[in-house]
Amino acid sequence: MRVQVVIIGGGPSGLLLGQLLHKQGIEAVVLERKTKDYVLSRIRAGVLETGMVRMLEEAGVAERLHREGFVHEGTQIAFDDEMFHIDFKALTGTPVIVYGQTEVTRDLYEAREAAGAKTIFEVENVAIHGADSDAPYVTFDKNGTEHRIDCDFVAGCDGFHGVSRQTIPLGVRREYEKTYPFGWLGILSRTRPVHDELIYASSPRGFALCSMRNEKLSRYYIQCALSDHPGDWTDDAFWQELKRRIPEEVAERLETGPSIEKSIAPLRSFVTEPMRWGRLFLCGDAAHIVPPTGAKGLNTAASDVHYLYNGLRRHYQDGDDEGLDRYSEQALLRVWKAERFSWWFSGLLHRFPDQSPFDLKMQEADIAFLRDNESQQRAFAENYVGLPY
Ligand code: FAS
Ligand code: PHB
């Protein structure tokens, strides 16, 4: 088998890239380790930057997003029993859209199937060969048979635990990592969201986030110990802890109910450089990870896809390789700004085990400065709604 581009990974990065390439007549096959149902069972991001929305519109998969997504013109920041609003629309002219990553992925799969584009699920032992040559190819096992696909390029969209990043030799790769001494315990519940905007809350007991998927589906997170397991938390214990971390007047109107999903995500900042090695290009979580505080994970994957898609399009349509040659440098410029914002916002709102009283005073002063200073709010809003591509 031969295609122009092999895309490893059938998450949002791989599917968005595949859909954009398909619309330009560039043939790509997606190799996915899991089943489609498994991919769609993962509950992850919830907030889309305008840039990502534009990418989904360009891919022709934004119709349901615009019908069912929630336009949010700002967010709430709560600390102790106080809460203030940051007005994205007034400060930047731009909103964000709340629409779950699961739905984005579902829309992309539906479009891919409608287009008759090839996705191979439940592949095993994927290996990339000759990435630093002019004739790369990918091998994988499916139902006990080894297969080979020859191609022009390989897009590594296989997430943090994938094979693509590991294919780049250690002597070539530079990795930067910061781990956080806590995780996020998240639940999904068929309850009415407690507020019509997201609430990012900092309290002496730790961070909490009140989010949503629709008018009857809420998504909540609380900072938890790395040693915690979802089974350690009953629904009631979660609700009681969440109420302790958000302002009293909000807690009083919190609608509780059974969790339909409960999981813990570790927090990590991670970047690998370069994001290209020969004819292998890394996209999304395969190249970088952010703590979810700033809602940048999925959205930074989208800007990687924007750069790579346009580089490939110009290669095939204009014989121009500048976009591909500049891909890593261009993508990393935006990646590091997303890393910085996510790291800063996580440091602002979470409680760290080794924090000194002085550190706490700095956090309080930082939050108060964000509350009181318009230029700080504008800088926050510009980062949150998404820096330019
Ligand atoms: P993904 O990891 O989504 O997709 C990679 C795909 O590649 C997967 O389907 C995987 O099965 C497949 N794969 C892996 N290895 C393979 C192989 N060898 N062969 C074939 N296929 C392979 N971001 C936010 O903005 N907000 C959040 O709240 C948030 N919560 C998160 C919670 C968790 C637990 C995780 C892990 C991430 C979270 N993220 C969040 C970040 C997340 O949304 C990612 O940024 C987003 O999924 C990136 O998409 P992809 O790059 O496609 O990677
Ligand atoms: C979510 O709704 O899952 C969500 C929203 C904003 C974040 C992280 C997660 O920063």
Q: In angstroms, what is the span from residue 117 Cα to ligand 2's centroid?
A: 31
Pocket test residue of 97, 211, 267, 349 for ligand 2, highest count of atoms within 8 A of CB:
211
Average pLDDT over residues 92-114: 97
Q: In sequence order, what are the residues at sequence separation of 6 or more whose Cβ sits closer than 8 angstroms to the Cβ of residue 5?
A: 17, 21, 26, 27, 28, 29, 151, 152, 153, 154, 155, 312
pLDDT of residue 184 exceeding 90, the answer is yes
- Confidence label for 150 from pLDDT (cuts 50, 70 and 90): very high
Q: Is the CB of 346 under 6 A from ligand 2?
A: no
Catalytic status, residue 221? no
Among left, alpha and beta (phi > 0; psi -120 to 50; other), residue 25 is left
Average pLDDT over residues 234-253: 98
Residue tagged active-site, from 180, 220, 307, 384: 384
pLDDT at 129: 98
Going by CA atoms, what residue is nearest to atom 2 of ligand 2? 46
Contacts 24+ apart (CB under 8 A), 369-373: 370/77, 370/86, 371/77, 371/82, 371/84
pLDDT in tens, 299-317: 999 999 999 999 999 999 9
CB atoms within 10 A of CB 118: 16
Going by CA atoms, what residue is nearest to atom 19 of ligand 1? 33
Contacts 24+ apart (CB under 8 A), 240-246: 241/205, 242/208, 242/210, 244/203, 244/205, 245/201, 245/203, 245/205, 245/206, 245/207, 245/208, 246/78, 246/194, 246/199, 246/201, 246/203, 246/208, 246/210
Pairwise CA distance, residues 366 & 385, whole Å: 20
Q: In angstroms, what is the span from residue 34 Cα to ligand 2's centroid?
A: 24
Pocket test residue of 298, 305, 383 for ligand 1, highest count of atoms within 8 A of CB:
298
pLDDT at 81: 87
Nearest atom (ligand 2) to Cα of 296? 10
- Confidence label for 127 from pLDDT (cuts 50, 70 and 90): very high
Catalytic status, residue 307? no
- Confidence label for 366 from pLDDT (cuts 50, 70 and 90): very high
Q: In angstroms, what is the span from residue 170 Cα to ligand 2's centroid?
A: 33
Average pLDDT over residues 356-365: 97
Residue tagged active-site, from 200, 221, 307, 309: 200
- Confidence label for 246 from pLDDT (cuts 50, 70 and 90): very high
pLDDT of residue 49 exceeding 90, the answer is yes
% of the chain at pLDDT higher than 70: 100
Pairwise CA distance, residues 108 & 16, whole Å: 7
Q: Is the CB of 294 under 6 A from ligand 1?
A: no
pTM of the model: 0.96
Q: Which two tokens stand for residue 215?
A: 């008018």
Average pLDDT over residues 315-342: 98
Integer CA distances (angstroms), 344 to 290, 303, 366, in order: 11, 20, 10
Catalytic status, residue 389? no
pLDDT of residue 349 exceeding 90, the answer is yes
pLDDT of residue 34 exceeding 90, the answer is yes
Residue pair 136/130 in contact by the 8 Å Cβ criterion: yes
pLDDT at 80: 81
- Rg, the chain, Cα only: 21
Average pLDDT over residues 369-374: 98
- What's the whole-number average pLDDT of the chain? 97
Average pLDDT over residues 21-36: 98
SS3 268: strand
Spatial CA neighbour of 120 closest among 151, 141, 144:
141
